[in-house]
Amino acid sequence: MSNSSSFGFGKMLNRVAVILILFAATSLTACTKKKSDPPPRPPAPVNVAKVVRKTVPVQVEAIGNVEAYSTIQVKSQIGGQLMKVHFREGQDVKKGDLLFTIDPRPYEAQVKQAQAALAKDAAQMEYAHEEARRYEELVRKGYAARDRYDQIRANASALDATVKADKALLDNAKLQLTYCYIHSPITGRTGTLLSNEGNLIKANADTPMVTIQQVRPIYVNFSVPEQYLAVIKKFMTRGKLKVRAIPDRKGGGAENGELTFVDNSVDASTGTIRLKGTFGNRDKRLWPGQFVNVKLTLTQQPDALIVPSSAVQTGQDGDYVFVVKENHTVGQNPVTVERTFDDESVIEKGLAPGETVVTDGQLRLGPGAKVVIKNASEGIKE
């Protein structure tokens, strides 16, 4: 083969190689372009709320413990057999209701015995006074000795004292008889019955027969850091401070009461001051021993900037919220939260009234993300 033929064949191979390289490059570019241009992400569904201004309470929050307004341990003042229990365990009783009956027969006998002794001594006293009147007349006429008259008069006076003592014994016997019938000293709820019918009851025993707790009204004890003491005392001079007790966040509304007690010293071991609120507890939602969330309202703050607490997110640089713009994209605004209350947050800075913030669906968001409003009536109209 000649040199010219070899040269022509080489040029043809070069052209083929170039075409293959261009085809591969074109295919690679097309694939790369296809991979770098994914389809746009759909808008994220979110719930929103408006930033508003309103008057809100300034509150101190704490954990409280419910305490009965009054607790009575019922004990017997006399000994005897328990004849009858007139209530059930856990029953509500009113002041004056009959609770127990102790066998009254021994005490009825004592009353009769005291009555008999009084009648006997009263009869002797009357005879002694009548005799003294007769001797007084005889002494005046000189028919009887003066010392005999003095003796009879002293005997009458002694019988006067005896009758008075008998009356006192009778009153005590009657009082002991009344102790056979034990009545409730307060209106409240009975606890566990510790003495059953037929038991022999001891007077003033160490163990009560039953315990009654008054639950209407009722106390809630709670403690706050001592730095709040000056503020609390300041606002107490303006009137009663309102206290709310929340027994269960899922169980309905709170119980409303008033601050009625501030302890006279700060607990040095904890640095807290003990407070007490009094509640009417009409529906008996507060129960002795129960733990509750307590909110003490000090005053009202007007024109506070408010957003739902669910709108506030926490990142590495602090708190922020997603703000929905007119083109249905979101921006990320850093905010300063002054405090929270009742699932709402007071914003010190970072937002303006009327702005729309995302309250649900933040996990799929980032600055510039598109959103679709699920609760459009509360945010931007679709």
pLDDT digits (tens, 9 = 90+) for 317-340: 899 999 999 888 999 999 999 988
Give the pLDDT confidence score for residue 27 in this predicted structure: 54
- Sign for the CA dihedral angle at 194, 195, 200, 202 comes to positive
Please classify residue 24 by burial: count the beta carbons closer than 10 Å to its beta carbon, then call 0-12 exposed, 13-18 middle and 19+ buried: exposed
Mean pLDDT of 201-206: 94
Range of lowest pLDDT (48-57, 62-71, 133-142, 273-282): 133-142
pLDDT digits (tens, 9 = 90+) for 65-81: 999 999 999 999 999 99
Please classify residue 302 by burial: count the beta carbons closer than 10 Å to its beta carbon, then call 0-12 exposed, 13-18 middle and 19+ buried: exposed
Q: Could you tell me the two tokens for 250? A: 């899922």
Give the pLDDT confidence score for residue 2 in this predicted structure: 47
Residue 1 confidence class, pLDDT cut points 50, 70, 90: very low
Helices (H), the chain: 3-36, 105-141, 146-178, 229-236
Give percent above pLDDT 70 in the chain. 87
CB 229 within 8 Å of CB 273 = yes
